[in-house]
Amino acid sequence: MDGLRDLVDAFPQETVAIYRLAKAGRTDEAIAIYRWFLPILELDINPQLVQNIKLAEVMTGIGTEHVRKPRKKLVGEERQRVIRILEEGLANRPTLPDYLNIELATV
């Protein structure tokens, strides 16, 4: 299902960590992860966002690049640009703090 995915699907642990850290008031840690994530998230504001998401999923081992018509798999320089962004992100993927066992602030 092309339209039901997002880049957060390719990076679920980082997404949950940002949310939980922010909710717990640990904003500096959440912001650090978000800053790492931002170049990847910006792939979602592009006419080929579905293809970018699919490529990110392949590179993180959770999906395929199959897209429904009229979309086509990324090729050429645009594909290489997206791969460079994803490879840099994966190479610099942050070590996440313990975020699953933290108390969340309630409002």
Rounded Cα–Cα distance for residues 14 and 56 (Å)? 14
Q: Is the pLDDT of residue 1 over 50?
A: no
Q: What is the structure's pLDDT at 81? A: 97
Radius of gyration for the alpha carbons in the chain, expressed in angstroms and rounded: 15
Q: What is the structure's pLDDT at 101? A: 84
What mean pLDDT comes out for the span 1-25?
82
Q: What is the structure's pLDDT at 105? A: 66
> With bands split at pLDDT 50, 70 and 90, how would you rate the model's confidence at 77?
very high
| Segment holding 7, helix H or strand E | helix 7-10
What mean pLDDT comes out for the span 5-30?
91
Q: What is the structure's pLDDT at 5? A: 56
